[in-house]
Structure 1
């Protein structure tokens, strides 16, 4: 058994599913998730800022990078939860959030993660879980840029924010009801 300060057994998962506040807010509540950090991945500019990626010109997506304990939660479970947190059939958008920075993507860290993500998408497509085709990209993980400090834990720190009240809070409430057995 790994000692509490030994984090060598932790693995990473990096997911893009629209606004990172929703994805980060949900995964930070799950058993086995050591950390959920909002940031940017998948673009061509170095050291992107929120203002830079909001233009859609940097190529980066808003992502959440998870550190997780695979003995407490599997990568498959993470992917299954991810697909309940956003609409993977919307190309370069989530609801009113429009642009490539809001695309649906799974950035895999090894061949096993790639295989799991692709298999899950095939199975969900065959089962017609969604009415439209899944457009989630499955791409190799690239350099992760942590988002600005004010984005970390944003939904928890800013429940009065209109976007949080209208979009994030209802998603997180539904998430907590659906995954009550996985909550910390």
Structure 2
């Protein structure tokens, strides 16, 4: 089994992390920061919007079980890629929709996927998802890892993460881990 990595940001990393975890082929989901200009950013610094980083998740996955294209499909299902620098109640560039690619193949697949979404006209507005090469991924503080699993009754998680998890379980039923 080979492991590949994918990195996505689409709002609060707690929500994105929780939505990807039930999928078969996902070996791990790590919350962190990427896409910015500050070395070793902290949650507090990223929340100011001054580091340039987005809250992201980095997936380790088995491409023989779940493809990068399928990960893109999940990603675009669990967030609104037409909202610039926000997702729901979370506002700021740290919550932007972003795909950080690990290689040229991922960049090409993501660009084609975004083009297809725009051509299909499935959204009222244009997709504003940023596409950039991953330069550096910084793991978030431990309290942010598996946050939804550790805090299922947290009000934010109940209102924002839980619906994303349910959407994945309903929409991608055939891709859930046993």
Instruction: Give the TM-score of the pair, scaled to structure 2.
Output: 0.97
Equivalent residue number for residue 117 of structure 2: 124
Query: Which residue in 1 is equivalent to 2:41?
Result: 48
Q: Give, in angstroms, the shift of residue 171 of structure 1.
A: 2.0
**Superimposed CA distance per residue, residues 73-127 of structure 1 (whole angstroms, 9 cap, x where no aligned partner):** 1101101110001000000000110000000010011110000000000111100
* 1:24-79 C-alpha deviation (Å, 9 max, x unpaired): 11111111111110000011111111111000001000000001111111101101
- Out of 34, 40, 52, the position equivalent to 1:59 is 52
Take 1:116 and 1:99, find their aligned partners in 2: how far apart are those partners?
A: 27
Query: Are 1:101 and 2:62 an aligned pair?
Result: no
Match of 1:28 in 2: 21
Displacement of 1:174 in angstroms is: 2.0
Q: Distance in 2 between matches of 1:152 and 1:136?
A: 24
Segments of 5+ residues of structure 2 without an aligned counterpart are: none
**2:86–2:92 contact (8 Å) kept in structure 1:** yes
Task: For residue 113 of structure 1, give the secondary structure of its aligned residue in structure 2.
Answer: helix
Structure 1: which 5+ runs fail to align? 3-8
Count of residues in Structure 1 that have an aligned counterpart in Structure 2: 177
> Which of 169, 172, 178 lines up with 1:179 in the alignment?
172
Q: Is the 8 A contact 2:14 2:144 kept in 1?
A: yes
Looking at structure 2, the residues matched to 155 and 171 of structure 1 have their Cα atoms a distance apart, in angstroms, of 11
Q: Distance in 1 between matches of 2:68 and 2:11?
A: 20
Decide which moves more: 162-171 or 94-103.
162-171
**2:106 match:** 113
- Corresponding residue for 1:137? 130
Name segments (4+ residues, structure 1) moved above 3 Å.
none
Q: Alpha-carbon deviation of 1:177?
A: 1.1
Mapped pair 1:88 → 2:81: yes
